[in-house]
């Protein structure tokens, strides 16, 4: 799936986590920003497609394959490999919490406490980051298998999960709009909570669940199977169809707006 929807899915998770915590505005914003970061982070393994990869990182690590080959291969540092695993989700979530805590104790002269104290104190941030990361992996599992056969969810096991091809790599404007809707509604709930006391977490969780169910419905309502493994013989055709399908789903006006928005972005969307 596209990087923007991945990142915003992280924000949506962040809004739920914030409602469960009783943190200050600053801490709440930090949870949302780091959840967004966790939602985007797995795709850092696409760096091998960077035009200067072979002359820089490839050279530094004495890699015998070109970045383009690495991207489609099944090395642990290839796309959809280690970075797309539950192990990476836990390591990066836990690592961020430990780093945050050590920075706080260094600069704010606040005692970090024991390891379990640190994890407990930052449990909302930790859960938000891990959940956002895993949601990214789930969003990728429903794209085509391509050369990987899904994502290496259970790394270091060799098995790849997903690759169902329920949706195309991008042109999933309907899913994007659902994610944006969840964020907007949840932010309204979070803002209201600052003026009226109520159980905001119940509302944010329900809104997230409704959004999730809507997205699932949309994913399974595609009237074409985008699945392929290895090379795709009709890539352009499937890509064009995925866009045409959005016109049917969204209607002329919204579709035109989304195409305009898509055109403003530098990334595949
Ligand atoms: Zn990904």
Task: Provide the pLDDT for residue 22.
Answer: 82
List pLDDT tens digits, range 220-254: 999 999 999 999 999 999 999 999 999 999 999 99
CA of 140 to the centre of ligand 1 (A): 6
Residue 81 Cα to ligand 1 middle (Å): 10
CA–centroid distance, 191 to ligand 1, in Å, is 31
CA–centroid distance, 134 to ligand 1, in Å, is 10
| pLDDT of 258 | 96
Segment 94-143, tens digit of pLDDT: 999 999 999 988 887 777 788 899 999 999 999 999 999 999 999 999 99
Taking the model in full, what pTM does it have?
0.94
Summarize the chain as % helix, strand, coil (round to 5): 65, 0, 30
Longest dimension (CA), the chain: 61
pLDDT at 264: 93
C-alpha 86 to ligand 1 mean position (Å): 13
- Residue 33: what pLDDT? 98
In angstroms, what is the span from residue 179 Cα to ligand 1's centroid? 17
Q: Tell me, in angstroms, the distance from the centre of ligand 1 to residue 180's CA.
A: 19
Element (H, E) at 60: helix 59-60
Instruction: Give me ligand 1 centre to Cα 137, in Å.
Output: 6
Query: 36 alpha carbon to ligand 1 midpoint, in Å?
Result: 14
CA of 88 to the centre of ligand 1 (A): 12
Tell me the pLDDT tens digit for each residue of 9-49: 999 999 999 999 988 999 999 999 999 999 999 999 999 99
Tens digits of residue pLDDT in 161-210: 999 999 999 999 999 999 999 999 999 999 999 899 889 999 999 999 99
What pLDDT is attached to residue 173?
97
What is the predicted pLDDT for the residue at 108? 79
Residue 214 neighbours by CB under 8 Å, 6+ apart: 178
Distance 221 CA to ligand 1 centre (A): 22
Give the distance (Å) from ligand 1 centre to CA of residue 113. Answer: 35
pLDDT of residue 23: 83
Distance 149 CA to ligand 1 centre (A): 13
């Amino acid at each position: 799936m596209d990087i923007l929807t991945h990142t915003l899915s992280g924000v949506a998770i962040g809004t739920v986590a914030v409602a469960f915590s009783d943190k200050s505005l600053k801490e709440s914003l930090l949870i949302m920003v780091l959840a967004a970061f966790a939602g985007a982070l797995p795709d850092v393994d696409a760096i091998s497609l960077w035009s200067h990869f072979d002359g820089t990182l490839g050279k530094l690590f004495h890699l015998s394959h070109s970045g383009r080959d690495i991207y489609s291969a099944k090395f642990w540092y290839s796309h959809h490999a280690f970075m797309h695993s539950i192990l990476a989700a836990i390591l990066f979530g836990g690592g961020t919490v430990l780093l945050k805590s050590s920075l706080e104790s260094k600069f704010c002269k606040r005692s970090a406490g024991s390891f379990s104290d640190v994890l407990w104190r930052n449990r909302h941030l930790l859960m938000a980051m891990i959940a956002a990361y895993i949601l990214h992996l789930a969003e990728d599992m429903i794209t085509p298998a391509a050369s990987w056969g899904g994502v290496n969810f259970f790394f270091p096991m060799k098995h790849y999960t997903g690759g169902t091809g329920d949706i195309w790599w991008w042109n999933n404007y309907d899913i994007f709009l659902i994610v944006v809707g969840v964020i907007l509604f949840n932010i309204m709930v979070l803002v209201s909570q600052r003026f009226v006391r109520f159980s905001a977490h119940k509302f944010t969780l329900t809104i997230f669940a409704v959004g999730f169910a809507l997205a699932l419905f949309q994913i399974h309502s595609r009237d074409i199977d985008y699945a392929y493994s290895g090379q795709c013989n009709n890539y352009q055709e499937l890509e064009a169809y995925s866009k045409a399908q959005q016109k049917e789903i969204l209607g002329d006006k919204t579709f035109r707006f989304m195409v305009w928005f898509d055109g403003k972005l530098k990334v595949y969307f």
